[in-house]
Chain A
Amino acid sequence: MFAKIQELLEKESSCERTDLPDRVKMKVQDFDLWYDDIQALKSVDMDVEENKVTAIIGPSGCGKSTLIRSLNRMNDTIPSVRTEGKVWLDGYNIYDDVTDCVDIRRKVGMVFQKPNPFPFSIENNVFYGCEVNGMDVDKDKTVERCLKQAAIWDEVKDRLDENALSLSGGQQQRLCIARALATEPEVILMDEPCSALDPIATAKIEDLIDELKKDYTVVIVTHNMQQAARVSDYTAYMYLGELIEFGKTTQIFENPKKKSTEKYITGRFG
């Protein structure tokens, strides 16, 4: 018990730092992850560049969702998870014991596979992040800014106090994006944001991603290769928990270096 108190008291020591190369926002370095005894990520290395869209592709079960959830420590909510390695954000190691994972999640927003708005009004959904983080901002302005950025303002501006669950699936997902924007994050993670949506809603979200990269760094997981080719600047290909190949999207799709990547891209894959 005293050891624990001691540990709490010494928590003020500073976080591990490093200098990242120019224009690199996040860097995953030699990262491993286990669910109990099953290794889901095997020494992954990856750079995420600022104001660019990085796509993670690969067959299902390859660990792409696990990897993106590692970027804001969402895996901490699963009790059986154990990690090794480092993830740098602006030169700070977010897996340092000192780092506050609640603070990380404010800076690194996330959009989930299924649209998951809270069962309260649209504006309270958007403002929720500001509220829990105690941000001193004007509610109406924030709501308007975020909804406009998420390209849903015109559809909902007259019914901001309506329950968010009454929106359609595509609208719900854009609302979730707006909600993630409210905490003024620097990076936005999207975990297969279009998998539950129809083609028209998907096109809207893809346009939106293109808009968003002007202000934010975006990382997107997708099982749809055309989508990766359309929206991303960089692409990472994963297979069985390993990062097989990482590079510019044009290079990955036109001139893959590894055999496995080529097989997957061309569709000759199991």
Chain B
Amino acid sequence: MSLRKIIALWIFIVSAGVAIYGFWNLYNQSEIGYWTMAGSLLLISVVCYASGIHHHIISKRQKGLPMLVYGTFVLSAAALSIYIPNPLDLRPWEIYVRIPNSFFFSLFMLLSGLFGAYLSFRPFYDYKKEGAQVGAYYVFYLTLLFTLFPLFLIIFNIVTRGMGGITWEFLTQDIVSMGEEGGVFPAILGTLAMISLTAIIVLPLGVGTAIYLAEYAKKGLAVRVIRTAVNILQGTPSIVHGLFGYAFFVLILFDGKKCLLAGALTLAILTLPIVTRSAEEALNSIPGELRDASLALGATKWQTIRKMVLPPSLPGILTGTVLGLGRAAGETAPIMFTAVYFSGAGTPSSLLKPVQALPYHLLSLYRLVGYRDVEQQAWATALILLMIVLGINFIAIILREKYRQRF
């Protein structure tokens, strides 16, 4: 084991320690003194210098320069940061915020620690190209970590804060006094009714479109136009669906009244591209020989599709539909002008009456936070909504995994 590797290992350990410490303080918003930061930066710069000098002078390969430069940078940052006023006031630029030293120092420690650790891989691997590879992998692991961290935070917070509000009463009663008491029972039922109705509307449309695209016409102008339309529909913002639902379904079809059916129709338009695309994918995954074999036996195209192609692709189609419904269950914008009331709609009884729904319920409760004591109820609503939506997604994922193993 050579001296170079020991030094490189030390740089990694020290830098990673500083980065973790910085992150911890950033997360907890705790105070961090000037001397703490200067001390930890000094630690990094000393090992960097050791490594840089070792390479630059003792070994003939003059590759220690980045380490020397970085060591100098960190050292001067440690020395100069004493001149940063506490807190950093941006008001002279008409930006009304003050950045406290604790935040600035923690962020700087986090970043310099991460970069120092990154630099340590190359000397560790003898400056071969493997070193660059390990360094790059380390960056990818970090991005993965930074992606999973918010997900963890969101789910952790909703579960811990929402659990307290979920009681039997909350699950089985209508709201009382603007959400301060009572529960979300009609909203749960409303959401479930809405997505069931959406499923009934969207399945034939989506699967029919997919069958046309995958089985009947593969090329040509019509297909290109249809496919572009599906893609545009997929990218269309949900608020635009809401506007359209209001302008067409509510104002023209239903006489200016919000109702369950108008909401379900709007959500069907929203989920149509998702169902179409996954159904098309499922149909395309059926091997072509199967179709040829059936056609060669004298079956018509429609018989082939019905008997040979549709049954094995059913799980895939179902997965896509369920995923689309999961998205629909969580949407607020398309239904807020077309189908929902905050309170008073009661349990859904007719297609032509408005309903209550969980996402809109959460929005309304949020608007009341600060005026009334509803934050606990809001967290609980968020938890129930999350459980329903993720439960639907979970079903879809399980369906897909089963289906994948079969082929």
* A→B interface (CB under 8 Å): 5, 8-10, 12, 100, 102, 132-134
Contact = CB atoms under 8 A, between A and B. Distances in A.
B56 interface: no
Pick from B2, B9, B129 the residue with the most CB of A within 10 Å: B129
Contacts, number: 14
Nearest to B1: A9
Nearest to B6: A9
Interface of B: 1-2, 5, 9, 124, 128-130
A9 B5 contact: yes
B1 A132 contact: no
A134 B129 contact: yes
Contact of B130 (A12, A102, A132): A102
Give 5 nearest A-B pairs by CB, closest first.
Answer: A9-B1, A9-B5, A102-B129, A134-B129, A10-B1
Overall SS of chain B's interface: helix
Contacts of A12: 1-2
A100 B2 contact: no
Contacts of B128: 100
Contacts of B5: 9
B396 to A, nearest CB: 27
Contact of B9 (A5, A102, A132): A5
Contacts of B129: 102, 132-134
A132 B130 CA distance: 11
A121 to B, nearest CB: 23
Contacts of B124: 8
Nearest to A132: B129
B130 A100 contact: yes
Nearest to B9: A5
Given A9-B1, A12-B2, A100-B128, 9 more contacts: A5-B9, A8-B124, A9-B5, A12-B1, A100-B130, A102-B129, A132-B129, A133-B129, A134-B129
A211 B260 CA distance: 79
Contacts of A102: 129-130
Contacts of B2: 12
A12 B129 CA distance: 16
Contacts of A134: 129
Contacts of A100: 128, 130
A8 B130 CA distance: 12
A135 B160 CA distance: 57
A85 to B, nearest CB: 25
A100 B130 CA distance: 9
14 contacts: A5-B9, A8-B124, A9-B1, A9-B5, A10-B1, A12-B1, A12-B2, A100-B128, A100-B130, A102-B129, A102-B130, A132-B129, A133-B129, A134-B129
B115 to A, nearest CB: 21
A5 B1 CA distance: 11
Contacts of A132: 129
Nearest to B2: A12
A133 B5 CA distance: 23
Nearest to A5: B9
A5 B9 CA distance: 9
A103 to B, nearest CB: 9
Nearest to B134: A8
A136 to B, nearest CB: 14
B51 to A, nearest CB: 16
Contacts of A133: 129
Nearest to A9: B1
A159 B378 CA distance: 67
Contacts of A9: 1, 5
Nearest to B124: A8
Contacts of A8: 124
B232 to A, nearest CB: 29
A191 B2 CA distance: 41
A179 B93 CA distance: 58
Contacts of A10: 1
Contacts of B1: 9-10, 12
Contacts of B130: 100, 102
